[in-house]
């Protein structure tokens, strides 16, 4: 004998029910086969909604009732041949009339008891099982309907009745022993008291009905047919990468379902466990997939964690006070009062000091729990020995489940570090002594992120998804996107990094796509986007609350630079080539660094100095490994280097600067380069990263430009003054030449002080032969005293800058 249960989605409409029939018909039935069915998908909820409308004297309950009727009639019309429809339709209409009478009663009375509620919802399964059994008969299957209320007997705890197994088992045994038909269709979820009053087994209870019958009849297999291909490593609707678990133990399945894996109603395992009847979970819509087999002592996989699940709408009830220490019986009283109120406790933690007990309960029970607990401990509360019960809501539980977790060290460490890295705040922790489950209570808003991050950590062989939010798609931004596009496959295969661009923005438009923007036609997607706003962008990034989020600033804009703090505060990493934040006043720089540390959100700006050259990263590595920086000497301006490399007898200074501007080597206003401001910012950043507290005004800037040039208000006027001061520039050049030297614009940091200015570089100096727009940096440190550590190479250009940003992204990925 075999029991098959088909869930709400599987029997949602005629088309799906035809699939169910095909599955049933393809089974080789030798003896009795039991088909347990749910209500047509969504009907239980609709019945409850209609009831609540009626209770609230809202006439629109008639509309939802009509809709329920239409759905059932439509299903019959699409399944049963016209000639046989009439008696079936009239029976269903008769039932619906009874239902209508019940709703009218609710409307008049304005209240509903759990008893009436059970009566009402039972119609869902009673109607579906009737229609399906008639369809089976009409399809020449040897089928009959059996009302499960005659078989499954319960107490009168309406809403979630307790089964009288002795009676139920006997009923089932005798009924199926003498049943003549091969296929028996049975409504799930419904049952009845000894007096014959309708009860139900709790939401999702059709699974349980099937298990009860399987247990009672010694079935050799219980199949749960649903809308997913088994029990997954996490809820597949939340974690896209989740996979069906091939085999799992009864205990693991129970634990996962207790902690929210809705695919199996938690009590389902219990009736089949003792007789070791295997449970197979299958997908009605993909019957060819193997599904999940639930058996005894499943040890086939090396993975210690089998699945991750979550329970939403949880509240924490905390009872604490000095009066609790060392006094036996407090927990007993607490649990007793909750049990009297039929409030189930999902999770318990108690600190060993016994000063407080913290319980996880369903959010729906909070008011009742609070009142009952405060009443039970009123005496202690009045003496101030115990505080009134404290309730925190808006929480969820996430749990790692696996039989083998106990024989593996470090799993909880892994779990909590993963949550910590993603800024998921943990409100309470529990680990069962069986170590089959480690749970954490977290904020409901973090569940999606937490599940995905944990799934990645425990199931995806270290593949890490990086979610990028990119602003600035000009020269650098465009190159950056092209580089990611080109490297995507490599990153995934070799570095196990799955880089996705979730959002793009320029000053006009912004676009978001949670599944990743296509990097081959991002321009079109952006053009079709919404109007850009910096705050709107931030709010959306924050709202998405994705793991490993990175805000990438490819602009040189001060307003964008001013938005970093909120990103970091939300544990969103910031990667930027924009120098403005790191070179702003020290307080702001320090704040950003602190936020980055406190919120575990990298703030990386390698490209602020020397474009793609690994200057800041090298500096950080030196310091992290215990070295200390004494002196930095560097040529850090590609533009100034270009200018002085090309300024010779044959050219005027004015013309060379103009050429540099024309070729895009200078800022739009070349005075920013020539006045040394840009270089000063860079040495400032290097000094700060070396651990020194320093501000712009502490940097000595020895200008080589005449005061008149520095004072010009516009770019053309600036160029004019360069012409008038030709002799001044020529004299600088001639003097250097006479000394056998070359002119370089040098930044120096020494003894805690920084300066920038034009210097004559002798021919034996490493700066002498610096070509084109190259940069060079010399670090003199404890370890590099005589011979400095030298970094040299192209220090400007969109391509190398983009690759520097890319390198920072990879650094975030390996963080
Ligand atoms: P049915 O109506 O067939 O009983 P349910 O909606 O009760 O189906 O259960 C199936 C749903 O359970 C899936 O669609 C999925 O959203 C949810 N679910 C939650 N956690 C898991 C999990 N770990 N594995 C599979 N499904 C899960
Ligand atoms: N129809 C019931 C519910 O929606 C029982 C079930 O489908 O398992 O809760
Ligand atoms: Mg279900």
Per residue in 224-279, pLDDT (tens digit) is 999 999 999 999 999 988 999 999 999 999 999 988 899 999 999 999 998 999 99
- Closest ligand 1 atom, CA of 308? 23
Name the helix (H) or strand (E) containing 730: helix 726-738
Nearest protein Cα to ligand 2, atom 6 = 204
Contact 206, 3 (CB under 8 A): no
Nearest protein Cα to ligand 1, atom 10 = 263
Q: Is the model's pLDDT at 601 over the cut of 90? A: yes
CATH 3.30.360.10 domain locations along the chain:
615-796
Nearest protein Cα to ligand 2, atom 8 = 204
pLDDT tens sequence across 158-200: 999 999 999 999 999 999 999 999 999 999 999 999 999 999 9
Torsion of CA 392, 398, 404, 405, to 10 degrees: -60
Q: Percent of the chain, pLDDT > 70?
A: 98
- Closest ligand 2 atom, CA of 203? 9
Contact 793, 775 (CB under 8 A): yes
How close is the Cα of 63 to the center of ligand 3, in Å? 26
pLDDT tens sequence across 105-164: 999 999 999 999 999 999 999 999 999 999 999 999 999 999 999 999 999 999 999 999
Please compute the mean of the pLDDT values over residues 329-352 and round it to a whole number. Answer: 86
Place of tokens 């009439």: 86
Question: What's the confidence (pLDDT) of residue 27?
Answer: 86
How close is the Cα of 731 to the center of ligand 3, in Å? 88
- Which active-site residues does the annotation give? 682
Question: What's the confidence (pLDDT) of residue 330?
Answer: 84
- Side by side, which strands form the sheet with 464-471? 530-531, 509-512, 497-505, 464-471, 549-553, 573-576, 603-604
> Which is the CATH superfamily of the domain at 307-459?
VC0802-like (3.30.2130.10)
Q: How confident is the model at residue 356 (pLDDT cuts 50, 70, 90)?
A: confident
Fill in the DSSP letter of residue 434: T
- Cβ neighbour number for residue 414 with a 10 Å cutoff: 17
Question: What's the confidence (pLDDT) of residue 155?
Answer: 97
Query: Which residue has better confidence, 690 or 464?
Result: 690
Contact 130, 92 (CB under 8 A): yes
Contact 660, 642 (CB under 8 A): yes
Q: How confident is the model at residue 30 (pLDDT cuts 50, 70, 90)?
A: low
Q: Is the model's pLDDT at 400 over the cut of 90? A: yes
Judged by its nearest atom, the ligand closest to the C-alpha of residue 209 is 2
Supply the pTM of this predicted model: 0.73
Fill in the DSSP letter of residue 446: G
CATH 3.40.1160.10 domain locations along the chain:
2-227
Best of 38, 188, 223, 236 for a ligand 1 pocket test (most atoms within 8 Å of beta carbon): 236
CATH topology of domain 615-796: Dihydrodipicolinate Reductase; domain 2 (3.30.360)
Taking all residues of the chain, what is their mean pLDDT, rounded to a whole number? 93
Residue 243 backbone dihedrals phi, psi, to 5 degrees:
-125, 155
Please compute the mean of the pLDDT values over residues 778-803 and round it to a whole number. Answer: 91
**Strand blocks (E) in 240-385:** 247-249, 279-283, 292-295, 307-320, 345-350, 356-362
Judged by its nearest atom, the ligand closest to the C-alpha of residue 118 is 2
CATH 3.40.50.720 domain locations along the chain:
464-602
Q: Is 231 in the pocket of ligand 1 (CB under 6 A)?
A: yes
| Distance in angstroms (rounded) separating the CA atoms of residues 690 and 195 | 82
Contact 435, 407 (CB under 8 A): no
Q: Is the model's pLDDT at 302 over the cut of 70? A: no
Please compute the mean of the pLDDT values over residues 651-673 and round it to a whole number. Answer: 88
Residue 754 backbone dihedrals phi, psi, to 5 degrees:
-125, 150
What is the total residue count of the chain? Answer: 815
Best of 16, 17, 39, 263 for a ligand 1 pocket test (most atoms within 8 Å of beta carbon): 263
CATH 3.30.2130.10 domain locations along the chain:
307-459
Question: What's the confidence (pLDDT) of residue 47?
Answer: 98
**Residues near ion ligand 3 (Cβ under 5 Å):** 7, 204
Q: How confident is the model at residue 463 (pLDDT cuts 50, 70, 90)?
A: confident
Best of 8, 226, 263 for a ligand 2 pocket test (most atoms within 8 Å of beta carbon): 8
Contact 639, 673 (CB under 8 A): yes
How distant, in Å, are the alpha carbons of 6, 128, 143, 184, 195 from that of 187? Answer: 10, 7, 14, 10, 19
| Distance in angstroms (rounded) separating the CA atoms of residues 85 and 81 | 6
CATH topology of domain 464-602: Rossmann fold (3.40.50)
- What lies within 8 Å, CB to CB, of 197 at 6+ separation is 115, 156
Torsion of CA 71, 76, 79, 80, to 10 degrees: -170
Q: Is 206 in the pocket of ligand 2 (CB under 6 A)?
A: yes
Please, where are the H alpha helices in 515-614? 522-527, 534-544, 558-561, 564-569, 586-598
- What lies within 8 Å, CB to CB, of 185 at 6+ separation is 35, 37, 129, 132, 133, 136, 143, 144, 145, 146
Please compute the mean of the pLDDT values over residues 778-793 and round it to a whole number. Answer: 94
Question: What's the confidence (pLDDT) of residue 343?
Answer: 92
| Distance in angstroms (rounded) separating the CA atoms of residues 311 and 444 | 9
Q: Is 227 in the pocket of ligand 1 (CB under 6 A)?
A: yes
Judged by its nearest atom, the ligand closest to the C-alpha of residue 310 is 1
| Distance in angstroms (rounded) separating the CA atoms of residues 808 and 554 | 13
Question: What's the confidence (pLDDT) of residue 301?
Answer: 61
Structure-token pair, residue 372? 């009952």
| Distance in angstroms (rounded) separating the CA atoms of residues 728 and 709 | 12
By three-state DSSP, how is residue 197 classified? coil
Question: What's the confidence (pLDDT) of residue 81?
Answer: 95
Q: Is 529 in the pocket of ligand 1 (CB under 6 A)?
A: no
Fill in the DSSP letter of residue 139: T
Question: What's the confidence (pLDDT) of residue 29?
Answer: 64
How distant, in Å, are the alpha carbons of 259, 403, 802 from that of 311? Answer: 5, 20, 43
Q: Is the model's pLDDT at 431 over the cut of 90? A: no
Question: What's the confidence (pLDDT) of residue 354?
Answer: 67
Q: Which CATH class is domain 2-227?
A: alpha beta
Task: Give the rounded distance of the alpha carbon of 146 from its chain centre.
Answer: 45
CA 11, 17, 18 angle in degrees (round to 5)?
Answer: 165
Q: Based on the number of CB atoms within 10 Å of its own CB, is 86 exposed (0-12), middle (13-18) or buried (19 or more)? A: exposed
Question: What's the confidence (pLDDT) of residue 631?
Answer: 96
How close is the Cα of 265 to the center of ligand 3, in Å? 6
Contact 751, 774 (CB under 8 A): no
Please compute the mean of the pLDDT values over residues 618-622 and round it to a whole number. Answer: 95
How close is the Cα of 205 to the center of ligand 2, in Å? 6
**Strand pairing class (279-283; 221-226):** parallel
| Distance in angstroms (rounded) separating the CA atoms of residues 255 and 266 | 8
Structure-token pair, residue 33? 């086969």
């Amino acid at each position: 004998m075999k029991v098959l249960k088909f869930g709400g989605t599987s029997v949602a409409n005629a088309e799906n029910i035809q699939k169910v029939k095909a599955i049933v018909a393809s089974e080789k039935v030798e003896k009795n086969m039991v088909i347990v069915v749910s209500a047509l998908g969504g009907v239980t909820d609709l019945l409850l909604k209609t009831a609540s409308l009626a209770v609230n004297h809202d006439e629109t309950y008639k509309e939802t009732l009509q809709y329920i009727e239409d759905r059932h009639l439509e299903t019959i019309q699409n399944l049963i041949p016209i000639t046989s429809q009439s008696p079936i339709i009239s029976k269903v209409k008769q039932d619906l009339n009874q239902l209508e009478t019940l709703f009218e009663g609710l409307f008049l009375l304005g209240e509903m008891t759990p008893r009436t509620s059970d009566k009402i919802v039972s119609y869902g399964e009673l109607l579906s099982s009737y229609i399906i059994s008639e369809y089976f008969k009409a399809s020449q299957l040897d089928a009959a309907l059996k009302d499960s209320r005659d078989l499954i007997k319960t107490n009168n705890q309406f809403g979630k009745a307790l089964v009288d197994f002795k009676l139920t088992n006997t009923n089932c045994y005798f009924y199926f022993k003498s049943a003549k038909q091969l296929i028996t269709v049975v409504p799930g979820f419904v049952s009845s008291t000894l007096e014959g009053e309708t009860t139900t087994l709790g939401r999702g209870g059709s699974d349980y009905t099937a298990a009860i019958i399987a247990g009672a009849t010694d079935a050799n297999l219980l199949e749960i047919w649903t809308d997913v291909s088994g029990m997954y490593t996490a809820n597949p609707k939340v974690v896209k990468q989740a996979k069906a678990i091939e085999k799992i133990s009864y205990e693991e399945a129970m634990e996962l379902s207790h902690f929210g894996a809705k695919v199996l109603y938690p009590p389902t395992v219990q009736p089949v466990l003792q007789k070791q009847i295997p449970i197979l979970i299958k997908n009605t819509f993909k019957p060819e997939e193997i599904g999940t087999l639930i058996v005894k002592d499943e040890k086939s996989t090396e993975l210690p964690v089998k699945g991750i699940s979550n329970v939403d709408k949880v509240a924490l009830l905390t009872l604490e006070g000095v009066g609790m220490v060392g006094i036996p019986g407090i927990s007993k009283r607490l649990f007793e009062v909750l049990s009297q109120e039929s409030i189930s406790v999902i999770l318990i933690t108690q600190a060993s000091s016994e000063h407080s007990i913290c319980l996880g309960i369903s959010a729906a029970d909070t008011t009742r729990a609070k009142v009952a607990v405060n009443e039970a401990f009123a005496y202690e509360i009045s003496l101030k020995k115990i505080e009134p019960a404290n309730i925190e809501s808006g929480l969820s539980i996430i749990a790692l489940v696996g039989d083998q977790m106990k024989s593996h060290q470090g799993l909880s460490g892994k779990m909590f570090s993963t949550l910590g890295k993603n800024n998921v705040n943990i409100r309470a922790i529990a680990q069962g002594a069986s170590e089959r489950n480690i749970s954490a209570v977290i904020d409901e808003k973090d569940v999606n992120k937490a599940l995905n991050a944990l799934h990645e950590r425990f199931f995806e062989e270290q593949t890490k998804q990086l979610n990028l939010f990119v602003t600035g798609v000009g020269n650098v931004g465009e190159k950056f996107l092209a580089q990611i596009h080109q490297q995507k496959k490599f990153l995934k295969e070799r570095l196990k990094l799955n880089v996705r661009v979730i959002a793009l923005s320029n000053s006009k438009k912004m676009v978001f796509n949670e599944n990743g923007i296509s990097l081959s036609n991002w321009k079109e997607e952006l053009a079709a986007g919404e109007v850009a706003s910096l705050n709107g962008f931030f709010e959306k990034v924050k709202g998405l609350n994705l793991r490993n989020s990175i805000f990438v600033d490819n602009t040189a804009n001060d307003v964008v630079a001013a938005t970093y703090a909120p990103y970091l505060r939300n544990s969103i990493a910031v990667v930027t080539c924009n120098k403005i934040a790191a070179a702003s006043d020290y307080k702001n720089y320090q704040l950003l660094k602190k936020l980055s540390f406190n919120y575990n959100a990298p703030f990386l700006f390698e490209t602020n100095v020397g474009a793609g050259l690994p200057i800041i990263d090298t500096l950080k590595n030196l310091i992290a490994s215990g070295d200390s920086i004494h002196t930095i000497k560097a040529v850090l301006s590609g533009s100034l280097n270009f200018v002085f490399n090309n300024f010779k007898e044959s050219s005027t200074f004015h013309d060379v600067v103009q050429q540099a501007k024309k070729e895009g080597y200078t800022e739009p206003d070349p005075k920013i380069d020539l006045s040394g401001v840009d270089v000063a910012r860079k040495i400032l950043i290097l000094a700060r990263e070396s651990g020194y507290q320093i501000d712009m005004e502490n940097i000595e800037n020895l200008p080589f430009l005449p005061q008149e040039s520095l004072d010009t208000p516009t770019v053309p006027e600036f160029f004019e003054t360069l012409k008038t001061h030709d002799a001044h520039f020529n004299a600088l050049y001639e003097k250097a030449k006479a000394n056998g030297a070359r002119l370089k614009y040098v930044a120096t940091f020494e003894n805690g002080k920084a300066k920038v200015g034009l210097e004559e570089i002798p021919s034996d100096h490493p700066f002498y032969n610096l070509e084109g727009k190259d940069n060079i940096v010399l670090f003199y440190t404890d370890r590099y005293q005589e011979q400095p550590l030298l970094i040299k190479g192209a220090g400007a250009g969109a391509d190398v800058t983009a690759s520097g940003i890319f390198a920072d992204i990879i650094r975030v990925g390996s963080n």
